Chain A
Amino acid sequence: MKILSSLCAIAVLTTATATVNAQKVDTVVGGLNNPCGIAIQPETGTIFVADSGAGRIVKIVEGKLHNVVTDFPIDVYGKGPKFNIGPLGIGFLGKNTLVVGGGGNIDDKERLRVYDVSGGTKKAADMVASFGLKANEDLKAEGNYYGVAVMDSGIFVTCNGDDTEGWIAKANHKKGKVKNFKRFIASKEATEVDAPVAVTNNKKGELVVGQMGEISIPEDGLVTIYNAKSGKMISNHEVGLSDITALAYGKNGKLYATDFNWLDTKKGGLFVVDLEGEDSEKVVGLDKPTAIAVGKDGAMYITVIGTGDDNPGKVVKVSW
């Protein structure tokens, strides 16, 4: 009886900041400059990274970085701390078609670009297609295409330009061709919280979006689930995270999130999210994590911005 009581007490003491043990964290590659996007190439399993501050897309081959697309425009994000950003979210549409969300232009000129990555190194201007969301009579221009999720029902892109509406945009795709990139869900109107950033899909084919919220407000991040066809909100969850940058379902079916935690980056990391509760459980602390891709082995590959020259940007592998 006493043992049971003790176990109960321990369970009660387990909070959002608790760390799940028994995972292994390895650095896959370092030397990156504000990496903000990651995707795993179908068939080959090669990891592609948006090395945002360096204005390039790279792939990791035998532990080394190889340029895939270079010379993206670069802009400065934030008013302090400030980050150089270029390409942001990335996602594969088939083996050789890479969709890249841009962040290096002003909103009116920002592009969602599509590349054929089968050949040698390309320049940013060598895209096979590109799209923008310009201002119109009623709406501001969009930009900072942070998250890209390629699903059967479309390509979904989170946008961080128009902070009045917080658009999640959608493009159609057919036979490997991308078309009709349009504003789809006004996430700020739906949730009253700023900045859709993380985006993925669940087993039901629903859209799962992480709302970053305000960077100077703790614990205002949301996970919101939408019908991917209609855009209708299905549910909205406070999960005890501050600045959600990426979401991914693990092989175990659990939803994982990276929390950048601008206010206190020491509290940032990878978390397992409980949509039924109001808290998330820390898996591992990471210094400004930005994106997640799940490998066939079930490991999570995560881009991390890091701090200064001593701890520059990298990709880490979290495995169990």
Chain B
Amino acid sequence: MTHPSFRMLLLGTALLFVVSPLQADHHLPPKGLKPLKYPKDNPQTAAKIELGKQLYFDPRLSSDDTVSCASCHDPKKGYSNGERFGIGVDGKEGGRNTPTIINMAYSRMQFWDGRVYSRTASLEAQALGPIANPIEMNLPLDKMEIKLNKIEGYRKQFKAVFGADKIVKEDVAKAIAAFERTILSGDAPYDRFKAGDEKALSAAAKRGMDLFFSGKKTNCVACHKGERFRDDAFHNIGVGMDAKKPDVGRFAVTKLEGDRGRFKTPPLREVDKNGPYMHDGSLKTLEEVVEFYAKGGIKNPQLSEDIKPLKLTKQEKADLVTFMKEGLSSKKYPMVKAPKLPK
């Protein structure tokens, strides 16, 4: 099934000749999400999105032709990989859980520690990192360019989209980012309930929603706020802080002591599909996640002031999970099938 906004863009291909790129960019996101801002130097076009999709699913972007972006950010697994950590070429395991790419188009910072930042083009800035990373796709970018330039089908498409005779890494990043900007999820039962459809949520999900938004009872919304249920900020909730050598998270980027053990808030739309959870993938289910919070996280000097033991009954914990599973899962999940790859 193709995502609606992507379908709309495909339908709009013919119109691209008569409307300006600016107009074509302002397609509507799913209900509940704000319009996206696009980088001025990388406007969306249907051809570019299609090219980006092919690159996203193409294992030839790895050193041994076995790993693609989709290997770790698998549409069937909530655009994560279902494993505790990312797994690259030769089965090499990374040190952190694979973050979903759903709705990441809105984020200015990418990765758990936010080491990639751009006000409007963070996806472009992020896209090439995993390709070159030795424990992910392990393909140096100069070699990637050589490899792609040997594939006629890509050469033709890059020429049509970017007007250049040679494929360069910057255009690869732009195409992948353009595709990723179509992976959006909204229009969930929560959105419909909020818009006035009182039957959109079950009784349990409604109770869970009330708990979720209760600043005093759970305070989930202190971090999982807004239309994407995330604040794009960094918090120390104690995950992994009892390890012998804890992952320092954001501290590695900023060197601010207060950032030790802080990680970027993950988004919650479609969260039931992308477990295991937390930056270290240490919690297998949403039930375990709620239990972790109910216990007040793991104490450490930088533990967020918002993390405190919660007085929740068994029913309330179950209701919270129901809200996340039922309320935030859209029938229009952005499922994308692997395309035919060019030769």
Enumerate chain A interface residues (CB-CB to B < 8 A).
78-82, 135, 137-140, 162-165, 188, 192, 194, 214-220, 262-263
Contacts and interface: CB of A to CB of B under 8 A. Distances in A.
B301 interface: yes
A162 B221 CA distance: 11
Interface of B: 108-109, 114, 117, 119, 214-216, 219, 221-222, 225-227, 231-234, 250, 254, 256-260, 262, 301-302, 306
Contacts of A140: 215-216, 219
B323 to A, nearest CB: 17
Contacts of A219: 108, 119
8 contacts: A80-B260, A138-B214, A138-B216, A216-B262, A217-B114, A217-B232, A217-B233, A262-B256
Given A135-B216, A214-B231, A217-B232, A79 B257 contact: yes
Contacts of A138: 214-216
Contacts of B221: 164
A163 B306 CA distance: 9
Nearest to B213: A164
B215 A192 contact: no
Given A164-B219, A216-B256, A216-B262, A79 B225 contact: no
Contacts of B226: 192
A265 to B, nearest CB: 10
A79 B258 contact: yes
Contacts of B227: 192
Contact of B234 (A80, A192, A216, A218): A216
Contact of B215 (A78, A82, A162): A162
A216 B114 contact: yes
B254 A263 contact: yes
Given A194-B231, A217-B108, 13 more contacts: A80-B257, A80-B258, A80-B259, A80-B302, A81-B258, A139-B215, A139-B216, A163-B306, A164-B221, A192-B231, A214-B232, A216-B254, A217-B109
Contact of B233 (A81, A135, A137, A194): A194
A163 B222 contact: yes
A14 B254 CA distance: 27
A199 B258 CA distance: 26
Given A78-B258, A80-B260, A188-B225, A216 B216 contact: no
A205 B262 CA distance: 40
Contacts of B262: 216
Contacts of A192: 225-227, 231
Given A138-B215, A216-B114, A164 B254 contact: no
A15 B214 CA distance: 42
A216 B222 contact: no
B233 to A, nearest CB: 4
Contacts of B231: 192, 194, 214
A76 B117 CA distance: 30
Q: Specify which of A80, A188, A220 lies most central, judged by the most chain B CB atoms within 10 Å of its CB.
A: A80
A79 B119 CA distance: 26
B242 to A, nearest CB: 18
B263 to A, nearest CB: 11
A285 B226 CA distance: 33
Nearest to B221: A164
B233 A164 contact: no
Nearest to B265: A214
B215 A216 contact: no
A140 B301 CA distance: 23
Contacts of A165: 215
A43 to B, nearest CB: 42
Given A140-B215, A164-B221, A216 B259 contact: yes
Contacts of A216: 114, 233-234, 250, 254, 256, 258-259, 262
A137 to B, nearest CB: 7
